[in-house]
């Protein structure tokens, strides 16, 4: 076939000769089916948004004489298609057979097909399928651009594309290409084209694509009743109830359809054709004229759907079977629940639970003779779904019922008797109360049965509690917090919705389904376990068992870190990044060989909080005690105090004897709480952060931030189709109310430039095409969390500069301390040297010549003046040193102000000697004082601890993101190219289109690489700061060591001087001793003689006939001498204890 078309406009073209159809013998079919895929990207419009492109398509056939005749067009359809061949997204995104911007009315006439199209965002490829009555030999395609016509004007041509003729033999499409075309026509309801393609290969009707869908199931899913009837007439009855290897059956696809009537039409058509057996009519009756189904027929369909685990079909059949009256409906649901539990029909149990059946319902009946039988008031035996499941060994049903709140007093005992270990574990996980006596009884039963596994479970298994539902939440608190829901689409920017947490939890089930959206993002504004459990339960409302798999205790409740002291800040999720797709391995894959993965990410990250909020939170936690009754908060104060209410409801009031079974709120933690989580109270350490000291030093009255370690909880959930379609996140976020509160001081970051939620939303709004998959979104969120604190583009304080400036200040002060120490130690030497120069000057050149008295030359005058000025400056500067150092003196060894006054009055050598003595004492005092050095060492230690905490967080983040990147890389490595065309392509077509999944995952990998580079940058900065701190720490230690050594030298020199002085005093004492010896010898010789001479000189009666007797003289002389001697001896002893300085001070005070 000769093709005339503009270059690179045709993406793919194929032609099917109807004469080769399997039906040509009996129907004498002739003609051809031509499918043309056109590239209508933005390049086609040359960047102009107001242009219209018009395609003209015509076919001719060549006769033997060379004459070309137009080929009549019997049918033509136009619509867009997706390069990744996901037809479901195409039909949910477009409600019309032709997308907006394509004019297809009366598009074929007189042998030509005309299509007008405006540029539509997200539409890059359109498909034209033409049914011809003859096989063409030539095809001509032309394209013209023009401006759209106005009411008073005609369209103005803008550009015409040049056509190029080339020979091309278009072969018939193979089975895979035929299957794709059949899916496209079936989903859009093009019955005639569907029939024509089906004639080419009837077996393609049940051929599944890479996503597990067949043309038959896509027709049912899109609600195309006419196509469904045609498929059933062409042999589709046998495959209508059979699931494919990877996808749903056509009947189940009809149950999933948005058309509420298509499922009933499908069932009635099946019954009608079954009744006819082999006599199939050419035309079926209208759906309204088909006979209705009986309850027995619906029961047969339900039994088959349950055995095939077709959840959607079971749900629709239950809706048709259940009574409308409430009381009858409740009884019917209870009876069916017990029957389904006894039979092990988990699929039916799940549907009944979603339809409102009570998992703890009691109905009459049950297995007779059971030892655990219960009886009603009338004496009849009753049973429950849980007991029926346990008694009939339906462990998987029992686990589901237990997870969703089923209780029975005899359940645990019966499970122990029947050795159902999974049931026992589920009951214990759910927190089934077991008294000590009951536990001992169960242990005895297990011991008698020699069941070691049960014994281990009874002794070691700790409960984790039941998963929360909407009924377990506190609406009065939830209505005060805002959640965020973001819908992502393939062909338009994402949409954002802000609503309260309570409003989100009250949404209907269809709100959480991904009908027209590519995927959804749900964000909760706090790390509240109950919020997350209730939300994920809402998301998996169709398959409640999936909730228990996502929130399996080993990945959820048991993943919590619980401190021994029960501190609130000791509770956090241990960092992890897991692919938990193995939990769903029993389900059939609905996608390609390597589907998307379920991913869980628990990641710590650095953020900040206002200091007053942190202190208020710590005060409330410290104030709380078991059983405490809190005062009611007035209605007008509930919004400002919503965090206090959150703590009360979801932390303080969650009383449980076993702390490991509590599903509670995780509070925000400070840096010290994240590292020293075993400490009961860290308020003192929290107030000593480097950021707090830095802002306190400038004396501002603004709100001061404090660094926190928050948690990112992130789940990527895979839907029934095998594609990831939901992202759930939980992390602390501020809303606009937080930045608009009335406080005494201005709030920080009023534009929320560091709020992770806000900057993520801004990124999505500015770059709507950057996020194509949930994995891209996870990378963006993780990246924003990791850099929230150190983002230099925010309005907040630059935390990195805070640490740099703090370290620089410590380094500067360390240098100043070292210089001061060096200056002080050299002062005495300089004074001594300068003091010796005047003597040299006096003995050397002077103002006049020493020899002849003549004046000195001018040069020698200048030299003498410089020496004198230097001497004067040295003494004055040293004297100022003494005055400055005196201000810091607090020890009595330091001279007082009188010494400084004396220094100012003295002159000459006396002043120099006194100055040297004072400097010696001041230097000794300064060497002994290391108070400031110790303070700086403590500051360095604090900063080192904080940097070590940050480095620990960064290391955990890098490890987790590498794990996430490895999971995504594993999917990329084994993921086949979903758009690999198995058809004959036009040589002009050199366009390569990767699948959306591949593009999205590649983008995610790039995001992860960017994150790793970011972490390396932060690690380098952290390492540089750490090196500076280590160097400063070492220098301060060196300074302290030098002071100690200098002190030792001073002590040694002082000891030497004292030894020299002691030696001189000893020599002087020896000299004085010899002198005293001479006086003693002379005294010894003359003292007796003096005494004798004086005694006999007394004019006593015995010596000189005087009136005085010798006895009288003795009575007076000896007592008086003794009294005088004793007085002076006492004065001598007392004088040794007097303090001359104190006496002098008192004397000065008196004067």
The pLDDT of 416-420, averaged and rounded, is 88
Residue 857 has pLDDT above 50, yes or no: no
Of 551 and 277, which is predicted with more confidence? 551
Q: State both tokens at 193.
A: 């084209």
Q: Give the confidence band of 840 by pLDDT, cuts at 50, 70, 90.
A: very low
Class of domain 11-170: mainly beta
- Pick from 117-126, 204-213, 1081-1090: least confident: 117-126
Place of tokens 């004292």: 1058
* Mean pLDDT on 100-110: 54
Q: Average pLDDT, stretch 339-368? A: 85
Spatial CA neighbour of 459 closest among 487, 481, 436: 436
Q: What is the pLDDT of residue 1030?
A: 67
Q: Name the CA radius of gyration of the chain, rounded.
A: 49
Query: Once rounded to an integer, what is the mean pLDDT over residues 616-638?
Result: 82
Give me the pLDDT at residue 530, please: 92
Reported as a single tens digit per residue, the pLDDT across 720-754 is 777 888 999 999 987 656 555 555 545 666 667 78
Residue scoring higher pLDDT (984 or 702): 702
Reported confidence tier of residue 926, pLDDT bands at 50, 70, 90 = low
How far is the C-alpha of 1000 from the C-alpha of 360, rounded, in Å? Answer: 45
- Here the tokens at position 103 are 């004019």
Q: Is the pLDDT of residue 96 over 50?
A: no
Q: Is the domain covering 470-586+593-740+749-797 a CATH 3.30.460.20 domain?
A: yes
Residues 6+ apart with CB under 8 A from 1128: none
Rounded distance between C-alpha atoms, residue 178 and residue 204, angstroms? 7
Q: pLDDT: is 1 or 658 the higher one?
A: 1
Closest alpha carbon to 532 in 753, 726, 768, 816: 726
Highest mean pLDDT among 124-128, 330-334, 835-839: 330-334
Beta bridge partner(s), residue 519 = 488
Looking at the chain, how many residues does it have? 1151
Q: What are the pLDDT digits (tens) for 371-413?
A: 455 544 344 578 899 999 998 888 888 888 887 778 888 888 8
Which residues, 6 or more positions from 8, have their beta carbon under 8 angstroms from its beta carbon? 39, 988, 989, 990, 991
SS3 assignment, position 1108: strand
868: Cα separation from own chain's centroid: 73
* Of 570, 595, 573, nearest in space to 584 by CA: 595
Model confidence at 505: pLDDT above 90: yes
Tell whether the model's pLDDT for residue 922 goes beyond 90: no
Q: By mean pLDDT, which of 115-119, 414-418, 638-642 is the weakest?
A: 115-119
pLDDT of residue 486: 94
Please tell me the predicted confidence (pLDDT) of residue 488: 92
pLDDT classification of 485: cutoffs 50, 70, 90: very high
Torsion of CA 850, 852, 855, 856, to 10 degrees: -60
Asked if the model's pLDDT at residue 792 lies above 80, the reply is no
User: How many Å is the maximal CA-CA distance in the chain?
Assistant: 200
Is residue 1142 over pLDDT 50? yes
Which residues, including other chains, have CB under 8 Å from residue 118's CB and lie 6 or more apart?
51, 52, 53, 101, 148
Which of the two residues, 933 and 354, has the higher pLDDT score? 354
- Residue 356 Ramachandran class (φ > 0 left, ψ -120 to 50 alpha, else beta): left
Mean pLDDT (the chain, rounded): 75
Half-sphere exposure of 107 (CA within 13 A, CB side): 22
pLDDT-based confidence at residue 520 (cuts at 50, 70, 90): very high
- Look at 425-429, 569-573, 747-751 and tell me which has the smallest mean pLDDT: 747-751
Helix then strand then coil, % of the chain, to nearest 5? 55, 15, 35
Statement: residue 154 has pLDDT above 60: no
277 band by pLDDT with thresholds 50, 70 and 90: low
Higher pLDDT, 986 or 253: 253
Taking residues 1048-1074, what's their average pLDDT?
A: 80
Residue of higher predicted confidence among 661 and 495: 495
pLDDT score, position 621? 84
In eight-state DSSP terms, residue 506 is T
- The average pLDDT across 696-717 equals 80
Q: Is the pLDDT of residue 938 over 90?
A: no
Choose the weakest-confidence range: 289-293, 499-503, 640-644, 1105-1109: 1105-1109
Residue closest to 994 by CA, chosen among 984, 1005, 1003: 1003
Roughly how many angstroms between the first and final C-alpha of the chain, as a whole number? 133
Nearest residue to 607 via CA among 470, 860, 743, 787: 787
Q: Give the whole-angstrom CA distance, residue 662 versus residue 644.
A: 19
Query: Would you state the pLDDT for residue 1008?
Result: 40
Highest mean pLDDT among 69-78, 215-224, 791-800, 826-835: 215-224
Neighbouring residues of 1021: CB distance < 8 A, sequence distance ≥ 6: 800
Q: What whole-number percentage of the chain has pLDDT above 70?
A: 69
Burial of 9 (0-12, 13-18, 19+ CB in 10 A): buried
Q: Matching CATH topology for 174-321 and 470-586+593-740+749-797?
A: no
Domain parsing of the chain, residue ranges = 11-170, 174-321, 329-367+381-440, 470-586+593-740+749-797, 1077-1148
Return the percentage of the chain with pLDDT > 90, whole number: 11
Q: What CATH code is assigned to 329-367+381-440?
A: 1.25.40.20
**Dihedral of the alpha carbons of 934, 939, 940, 943, in degrees to the nearest 10:** 160
**C-alpha span between 100 and 80 (Å, rounded):** 10
CA torsion, ordered 72, 76, 78, 81, to nearest 10 deg: -110
CATH topology of domain 174-321: 1.25.40
């Amino acid at each position: 076939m000769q093709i005339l078309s503009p270059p690179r406009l045709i993406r793919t073209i194929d032609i099917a000769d109807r004469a080769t159809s399997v039906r040509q013998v009996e129907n004498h079919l002739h003609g051809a089916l031509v499918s043309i895929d056109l590239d209508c990207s933005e390049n086609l419009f040359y960047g102009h948004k107001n242009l219209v492109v018009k395609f003209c398509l015509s076919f001719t056939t060549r006769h033997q004489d060379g004459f070309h005749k137009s080929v009549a067009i019997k049918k033509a359809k136009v619509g867009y298609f997706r390069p990744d061949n996901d037809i479901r997204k195409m039909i949910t995104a477009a409600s019309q057979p032709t997308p907006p911007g394509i004019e297809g009315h009366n598009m074929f006439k007189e042998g030509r097909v005309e299509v007008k199209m405006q540029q539509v965002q997200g539409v890059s490829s359109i498909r034209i399928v033409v049914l011809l009555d003859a096989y063409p030999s030539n095809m001509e395609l032309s394209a013209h651009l023009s401006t759209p016509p106005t009411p008073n004007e005609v369209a103005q041509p803008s550009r015409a594309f040049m056509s190029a003729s080339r020979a091309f033999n278009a072969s018939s499409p193979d089975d895979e290409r035929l299957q794709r075309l059949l899916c496209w026509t079936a989903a859009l309801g093009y019955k005639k084209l569907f029939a024509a393609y089906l004639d080419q290969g009837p077996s393609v009707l049940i051929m599944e694509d890479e996503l597990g869908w067949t043309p038959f199931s896509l027709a049912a899913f899109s609600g195309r009743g006419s196509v469904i009837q045609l498929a059933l007439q062409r042999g589709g009855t046998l495959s209508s109830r059979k699931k494919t290897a990877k996808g749903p059956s056509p009947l189940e696809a009809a149950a999933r359809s948005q058309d509420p009537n298509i499922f009933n039409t499908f069932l009635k058509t099946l019954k009608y054709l079954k009744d006819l057996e082999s006599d199939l009519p050419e035309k079926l009756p209208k759906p309204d004229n088909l006979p209705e189904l009986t309850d027995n027929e619906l029961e047969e369909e339900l039994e088959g759907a349950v055995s095939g685990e077709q959840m959607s079909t079971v749900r629709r059949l239950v809706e048709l079977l259940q009574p409308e009256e409430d009381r009858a409906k409740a009884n019917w649901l209870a009876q069916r629940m017990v029957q389904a539990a006894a039979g092990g029909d988990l699929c039916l149990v799940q549907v009944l639970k979603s339809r409102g059946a009570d998992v703890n319902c009691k109905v009459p009946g049950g297995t007779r003779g059971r030892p655990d039988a219960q009886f009603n008031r009338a004496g009849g035996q009753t049973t429950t779904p849980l007991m029926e499941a346990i008694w009939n060994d339906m462990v998987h049903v029992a686990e589901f019922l237990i997870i969703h709140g089923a209780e029975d007093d005899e359940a645990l005992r019966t499970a122990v008797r029947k050795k159902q270990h999974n049931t026992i574990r589920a009951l214990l996980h759910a927190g089934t109360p077991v008294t000590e006596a009951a536990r001992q009884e169960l242990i005895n039963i297990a011991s008698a049965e020699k069941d070691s596994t049960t014994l281990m479970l009874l002794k070691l298994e700790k409960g984790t509690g039941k998963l929360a539902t909407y009924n377990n939440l506190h609406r009065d608190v939830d209505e005060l917090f805002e959640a965020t829901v973001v819908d992502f689409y393939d062909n338009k920017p994402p949409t954002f919705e802000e609503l309260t947490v309570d409003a989100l939890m009250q949404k209907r089930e269809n709100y959480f389904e991904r009908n027209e959206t590519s995927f959804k993002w749900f964000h909760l504004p706090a790390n509240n376990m109950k919020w997350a459990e209730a939300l994920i339960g809402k998301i998996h409302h169709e398959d409640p068992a999936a909730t228990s798999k996502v929130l399996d205790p080993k990945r959820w409740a048991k993943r919590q870190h619980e401190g021994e002291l029960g501190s609130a800040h000791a509770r956090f999720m241990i960092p992890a990044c897991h692919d938990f797709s193995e939990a769903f391995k029993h389900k059939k894959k609905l996608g390609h060989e390597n589907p998307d993965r379920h991913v869980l990410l628990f990641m710590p990250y650095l953020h900040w909080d206002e200091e007053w909020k942190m202190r208020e939170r710590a005060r409330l936690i410290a104030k709380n005690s078991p059983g405490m009754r809190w005062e009611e908060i007035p209605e007008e104060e509930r919004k400002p105090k919503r965090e206090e209410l959150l703590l009360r409801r979801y932390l303080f009031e969650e009383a449980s004897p076993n702390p490991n079974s509590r599903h509670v709120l995780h509070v925000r933690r400070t840096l010290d709480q994240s590292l020293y989580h075993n400490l009961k109270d860290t308020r003192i350490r929290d107030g000593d952060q480097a950021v707090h000291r830095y802002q306190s030093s400038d004396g501002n009255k603004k709100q001061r931030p404090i660094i926190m370690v928050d948690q990112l909880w992130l789940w990527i959930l895979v839907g029934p189709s095998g594609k990831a379609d939901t992202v759930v996140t939980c992390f602390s976020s501020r809303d606009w109310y937080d930045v608009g509160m009335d406080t005494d001081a201005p709030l920080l970051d009023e534009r929320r430039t560091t709020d992770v939620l806000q900057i993520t939303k801004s990124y999505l709004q500015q770059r709507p095409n950057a996020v194509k998959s949930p994995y891209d979104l996870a990378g963006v969120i993780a990246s924003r969390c990791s850099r929230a604190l150190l983002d230099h583009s925010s309005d907040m304080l630059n935390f990195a500069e805070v640490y740099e400036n703090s370290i620089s200040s410590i380094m500067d002060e360390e240098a100043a301390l070292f210089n001061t120490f060096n200056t002080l130690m050299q002062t005495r030497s300089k004074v001594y040297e300068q003091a010796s120069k005047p003597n040299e000057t006096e003995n050397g050149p002077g103002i006049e010549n020493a020899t002849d008295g003549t004046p000195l030359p001018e040069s020698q005058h200048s030299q003498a003046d410089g020496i004198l000025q230097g001497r004067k400056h040295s003494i004055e500067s040293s004297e100022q040193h003494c005055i400055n150092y005196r201000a810091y003196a607090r020890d009595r060894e330091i001279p007082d102000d009188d010494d400084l006054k004396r220094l100012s009055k003295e002159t000459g050598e006396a002043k120099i000697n006194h100055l040297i003595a004072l400097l010696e004492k001041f230097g000794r005092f300064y060497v002994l004082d290391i108070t400031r050095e110790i303070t700086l060492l403590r500051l360095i230690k604090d900063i080192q601890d904080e940097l070590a905490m940050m480095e620990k967080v960064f290391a955990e983040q890098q490890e987790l993101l590498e794990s996430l990147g490895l999971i995504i890389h594993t999917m990329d490595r084994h993921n086949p190219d979903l758009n690999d065309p198995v058809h004959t392509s036009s040589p002009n077509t050199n366009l390569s289109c990767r699948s959306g999944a591949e593009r999205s995952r590649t983008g995610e990998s790039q995001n992860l690489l960017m994150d790793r580079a970011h972490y390396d940058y932060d690690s380098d900065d952290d390492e540089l700061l750490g090196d500076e701190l280590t160097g400063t720490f070492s220098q301060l230690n060196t300074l302290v060591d030098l002071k100690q050594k200098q002190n030792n030298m001073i002590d040694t020199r002082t000891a030497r001087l004292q030894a020299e002085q002691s030696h001189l005093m000893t020599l002087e004492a020896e000299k004085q001793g010899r002198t005293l010896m001479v006086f003693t010898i002379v005294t010894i010789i003359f003292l007796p003689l003096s005494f004798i001479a004086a005694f006999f000189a007394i004019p006593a009666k015995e010596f000189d006939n005087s009136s005085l007797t010798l006895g009288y003289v003795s009575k007076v002389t000896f007592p008086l001498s003794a009294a005088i001697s004793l007085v002076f001896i006492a004065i001598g002893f007392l004088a040794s204890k007097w303090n001359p300085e104190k006496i002098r001070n008192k004397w000065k005070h008196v004067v």
